[in-house]
Amino acid sequence: MAIAFAILLIAVAVILLIARQKKLEAAVVAAILGIVVAVFAKPIENAWDGFFAQHDTKNSSPAAPTSGTKDGSTQQQAEPTSPENSPTYGSRTPTPGAKTSDVRVDQTLPDVDPTRIPEPVYLADKSRVNGGNAIVLKGARSINGKEYANSIAVCSELTSIPNINCNSDKSDTWWAEYVAPQDMHSVRAMIGLSDTSPGDCRDFLQLELNGAVVFDKELVAGGQFDRSWPVQAGTRLTVRVRPIAGTGRCLTVLGDARFTP
């Protein structure tokens, strides 16, 4: 383009110089200039278009490579995708013809049974907390002729002679404490004196939940109480027994005492 433009400028300059020396009329000079411009216009136009076409090509991204097809036409090849952009990233590659539901995702979930209901937790199977001075017996105990297989019982005996199997200091209140485990929402027990207790036994029982008294009654032979209270994980159940009267070993029983979901 630069060469064609330079030749045009030189030609115009030469024509003007000759016209000045020969004193040619303006109409003649204009006609000559018109012929020269017409001759050089097309080469300059082509050169100009080629220049801009080359400039646009440099600034544009290269076209994707093409590959031939069976019918002789060409098709553009897709650029490779990164693993993160792949439609199968994080999952198994589906088998051709497989249903969507048959495709397994590489993600392991824990086996959770939403219908599972936690089992009750018996106090006889739990360890006491915060010490406690009571001797607590565990196992089957009967109240008014009915046996409760998972019971706890506090033994008291009004005597000054120590007994390793029974609380024997009549001046004390005997106590033990338990804590409700996870997923438990109530505590329940059948309360009364054991059928093995002498008929003149009288014990005072007090139950507390987190320090608040929920039960305080004197227990005598033949009496019983079926009781339950709401709890939550971490609730403290405190059992306190104070002997009042009796000529032998008195057993205050919490029959099948348990935390329930």
Query: What's the confidence (pLDDT) of residue 17?
Result: 72
**Residue 230: domain span:** 121-260
Indicate if 47 and 129 belong to the same structural domain: no
Residues 253 and 168 occupy one common structural domain: yes
CATH code assigned at 177: 2.60.120.1060
Output the pLDDT for position 88.
47
Domain boundary among 35, 54, 73: 54
**Looking at residue 77, what is its pLDDT?**
54
- Helices and strands counted in the chain (H then E): 2, 12
pLDDT score of 24: 63
Cβ-contact 254, 205 below 8 angstroms? no
d(CA 48, CA 128): 99
Token pair of 78, please?
A: 């897709």
Do 252 and 130 sit in the same domain of this protein?
yes
Q: What is the DSSP letter of 191?
A: E
Q: Does residue 104 form part of some domain?
A: no
Residue 139 lies in a domain: yes
192, 153 Cβ separation under 8 angstroms:
no
* Backbone φ and ψ of 57, nearest 5°: -65, -40
Based on the fold, state whether residues 32 and 148 are members of the same structural domain: no
Residue 97 inside a domain? The answer is no
Same-domain check for residues 126 and 11: no
pLDDT less than 70: residues of the chain: 1-8, 19, 22-29, 33, 36-37, 39-45, 47-114, 159-164, 169-171
**Burial class (CB within 10 angstroms; exposed 0-12, middle 13-18, buried 19+) of 99:** exposed
Whether 87 maps to a domain, the answer reads no
Sequence length of the chain is 261
In this structure, the answer to whether residues 33 and 148 fall within a common structural domain is no
pLDDT at 108: 58
For residue 66, being part of any structural domain is answered with: no
Task: Say which residue the tokens 């397994």 belong to.
Answer: 104
27's enclosing H/E stretch is helix 26-59
> Under a CB-based contact definition with an 8 Å cutoff, are residues 154 and 176 in contact?
yes
- 49 and 137, same domain (yes or no): no
Residue 8 is predicted with a pLDDT of 65
pLDDT of residue 19: 66
pLDDT of 202 reads 94
Verify that 136 and 229 share a domain, yes or no: yes
Cβ of 125: how many Cβ atoms within 10 Å?
10
**Residue 166 covered by a domain:** yes
pTM of the predicted structure, to 2 decimals = 0.56
Judging by beta carbons within 10 Å of its beta carbon (0-12, 13-18, 19+), is residue 197 exposed, middle or buried?
A: buried
How many domains in the chain?
2
What pLDDT shows up at residue 251?
94
**Residue 17 is inside which H or E element, if any?**
helix 2-22
- Residue 103 resides in a domain: no
Least Cα distance to 155 among 118, 110, 203 occurs for 203
Residues 152 and 239 in one domain: yes
Question: How far is residue 16's CA from residue 113's CA, in Å, rounded to a whole number?
Answer: 103
